């Protein structure tokens, strides 16, 4: 199975973007992001706290739909999914 992960803003600077990766069936959203983010310690620390939980400000999306942080560990990824990870956003 192939999925695409897109990191944005500061996360993109640390981890890259448009990452296409192979996953095994049954992979959960949190596991996918954890594995990918561990490739850069600063990127991992930007997304996860010291206990390995998402920072409360992280925004997660799967195929354009928001995923609540509390649901990410039980949300499976499937072939063709596009995952997006955003830092807090501000605008004016």
Q: Residue 92: inside a domain, yes or no? A: no
Q: Residue 59: inside a domain, yes or no? A: yes
Positive or negative: CA dihedral 46, 49, 50, 51: negative
Question: How open is the CA angle 49-5-35, to the nearest 5 degrees?
Answer: 45
Q: Residue 75: inside a domain, yes or no? A: yes
Which domain covers residue 38, as residue numbers? Answer: 2-86
CATH number at residue 40: 3.10.20.30
- Give the residue-averaged pLDDT of 44-52: 96
- What pTM does this model have? 0.91
- Give the residue-averaged pLDDT of 25-39: 95
Counted domains in the chain: 1
Among residues 8, 5, 9, which one has the least CA distance to residue 18?
Answer: 5
Residue 26: C-alpha distances to residues 1, 8, 32, 51, 77 (Å): 10, 25, 11, 23, 7
Q: Residue 91: inside a domain, yes or no? A: no
Q: Residue 58: inside a domain, yes or no? A: yes
**pLDDT score of 92 more than 70:** no
């Amino acid at each position: 199975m192939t999925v695409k992960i897109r990191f944005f803003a500061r996360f993109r600077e640390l981890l890259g973007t448009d990452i296409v990766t192979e996953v095994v069936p049954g992979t959960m959203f949190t596991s996918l992001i954890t594995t990918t983010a561990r490739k850069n310690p600063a990127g991992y620390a930007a997304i996860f706290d010291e206990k390995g939980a998402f920072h409360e400000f992280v925004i997660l999306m799967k195929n354009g739909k928001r995923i609540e942080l509390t649901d990410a560990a039980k949300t499976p990824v499937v072939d063709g999914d596009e995952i997006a990870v955003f830092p807090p956003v501000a605008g004016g």
